Structure 1
Amino acid sequence: MKTYLWAAAAATVLVGSAATAQTVSNTSLQNLNGTNGAGVATTTTTPTGTRTTVVGPGGGANRVSGAFTTNQWYQNNVGGGGTVGITTDYSRNGNGSAFFSTTSADSKADLQYYLSSPIALSSLSSVSFDFYRDPASTTTALFSPVFRFDIYKNCGFAGALVLENYYQANQNAPVGTWTTVSATLGTGQFWATNAALGPTFADANGGVKTMAEWIAANSTANLSVVGLEIGVGSGWTGTFSGAVDNVRVAFANGPNVNANFEVAAVAAAVPEPASWAMMIVGFGVVGFALRRRAKVQTAVRFA
């Protein structure tokens, strides 16, 4: 169950932001360490990036999420052996990308981005993202990371509309290569996670539609976007490893999201005062030894 902290209100159009790529560093992720139900979270940061893994049984009661925040990507709904982070495992347009892995059908892992205020779904201009599926993944061949719009319907949460590679051409996910999935209001196929919007989970009876068709199917309601998600898992059998990068979402008159996930360079450690003292003493000893050796050599030369 998602909890939103905005006051119920009609969709608000925001002032547009710059369309240039925005670097999302691994150091901006939240440090999640603790439990939720039977799920236990551990976050680690190394020179190869930041990863959050939650071990324990599946189900929402055992998943760990970061603290609610807006205009920032953070870990959400991680559980069942799922891992999410920003790492160098699969670099794209830089040294990193958003990393996802699952270990079983219980696994789930997302990165979440909440808008500072809801915006009308009808103002969507375009959305795209790049994904990578590692050839070692054993889950069903059609699965790859997905993009989700979290939707308000008449100011109440109504699930998500999901952009997934498979439903664009009913083809399995390419492996070992980066693939771009894109859509606009009138192009690209989305499926719904909640019956409040219509047929769910790619139901054959009209469950896959363009955004314009979803809006038309809910013509008497006000649909607005409150958040963005990229993620994997929940019901995926087998294992998965892969990544997402270059998430781009544009609305008429804003806001624009253009996220390039990167790993920050690890700064060289600064020696502690005691270490400095030992180094200075060491330099002194070396210098004394060199001077003494020079004197001995001189004495031998002129004997």
Structure 2
Amino acid sequence: MTLGCCGALSAETIIYSNDPAPGDFFTSTEVAPDGAAQALSTPGWYYANVRQDGTVGINTTFAKDGNGSVYFDTTSGAGKADVLYVPGGSLGGTLNDLKTFGYDWLRTDGSTNPGTQAPSLRLILSGTGGLRTLVFEPYYTYYQPDPVPTGHWVSSDAVDGGDALFWQTGDPNQTTHDLTYWQGLYGDYSVVGLSFGVGSGWSDHFTGAVDNVRIGFNGADATVYNFEVVPEPSSVAMGLIAGAAGLAAAARRRRSK
């Protein structure tokens, strides 16, 4: 157990790339609205909505807290790329129960899209009115009217005591309201998924990354999803060999006593 975002206890879950180092670089030239998707080896996780030369992948390009993170790259306003997690049921509670939500993100100094844009984080809800998606963008809660930071990792709390700002997909004006407002509308809706990503209307070039996505509900520890590159088969084998050698040496020492 570790101390996670906002003082809440959290447990780490590692989500691995499909390919060994340097990892995944999933891209597609498909067009809107849906783009291309690819399942990850961990059930429920997908590269999703990848279109118009958008690229996404767990790889070593911007490694953080391990050997990897989720890399994103788009080259035009038509490009888009997401990571989606939909386990097929509740993530652990309702919107009213949400106590922890956040992530670490990076926008590179070389990105030329508008300076207000950084990877967004989304909650997927299910209730009597169907599915709803709420979108958190760090600019609205923490940085406006200034550009978001570049060139280093930033950790964003998407709860912020209920004051973090979200907008709802389908709203052409992207009107933001704080989390408390949305809990008043959809508080009894179950949180059935999350996603994060970049693009769709982001002109010019963006490069960046996401790691350590956090979510937790009242009455339970939060989960931190840490994205890592799957170990090379040879390194796994060497680890097993080293472990076996250590056990054998320990056994010999015990016999010699």
TM-score using structure 1 length: 0.67
Q: Distance in 2 between matches of 1:20 and 1:222?
A: 25
1:144 has 2:144 as partner:
no
Q: Deviations over 1:16-48 (max 9, x none)?
A: xx9321111113xxxxxxxxxxxxxxxxx4521
Q: In the alignment, does 2:172 pair up with 1:181?
A: no
Paired residues of 1:69 and 1:114 also in contact (CA < 8 A):
no
Structure label with greater radius of gyration: 1
Distance 1:121 1:134 in 2: 32
- Which of 7, 10, 25 does residue 19 from structure 1 map onto? 10
In the TM superposition, 1:189-228 aligns within 5 A as: 189-195=165-171, 201-202=173-174, 207-216=175-184, 218=185, 222-228=188-194
Matches within 5 A, 1:118-133: 118=90, 119-133=93-107
State the 1:233 CA deviation. Answer: 0.5
Map of 1:37 onto structure 2 = none
Residue 167 of structure 1: SS of its match in structure 2? helix
* Partners of 1:69 and 1:89 in 2: CA distance: 20
Instruction: Give unmatched runs, 5+ long, in structure 1.
Output: 1-17, 28-44, 270-303
On the 8 A contact 1:192/1:201 being kept in 2, the answer is: no
Matched to 1:267, the amino acid is: P
In the TM superposition, what are the counterparts of 1:25-64 in structure 2 within 5 Å?
25-27=16-18, 45=19, 47-56=21-30, 58-61=31-34, 63-64=35-36
Q: Secondary structure at the match of 2:100?
A: strand
Deviations 1:95-137 (A, max 9, x none): 1101111011111101111144233111101111000011111
Residue matched to 1:79: 51
Compare 224-233 and 178-187 and name the one that shifted more: 178-187
Instruction: Give the C-alpha shift of residue 258 in structure 1.
Output: 1.1
Cα distance in 2 between the residues matched to 1:83 and 1:68: 15
Deviation, 1:214, is 1.2
Residue identity opposite 1:212 in structure 2: T
Q: Note the aligned Cα RMSD (angstroms).
A: 2.4
Q: For the residues of structure 2 that align with 1:136 and 1:77, how far apart are their CA atoms?
A: 24
2:100 and 2:222 in contact (8 A); partners too: no
For residues 209-255 of structure 1, what are the alpha-carbon distances to aligned partners after superposition, in whole Å with 9 as ceiling and x for unaligned? 22111122x27x84332210010011110011110001010012358
Q: What is the percent sequence identity of the aligned residues? A: 33
Shift in Å, 1:85: 0.5
What is the SS of the residue equivalent to 1:176? coil
Using CA pairs below 8 Å that are at least 6 residues apart, which structure has the higher relative contact order? 2
TM-score by length of 2: 0.78
Contact 2:118 2:148 in 1 (8 A): yes
Which residue type is aligned with residue 196 of structure 2?
I
Structure 2 unmatched runs, 5+: 1-8, 236-257
Q: Kindly provide the CA deviation profile for residues 156-177 of structure 1, in whole angstroms up to 9, marking residues without a partner as x.
A: 113x111111101313121110
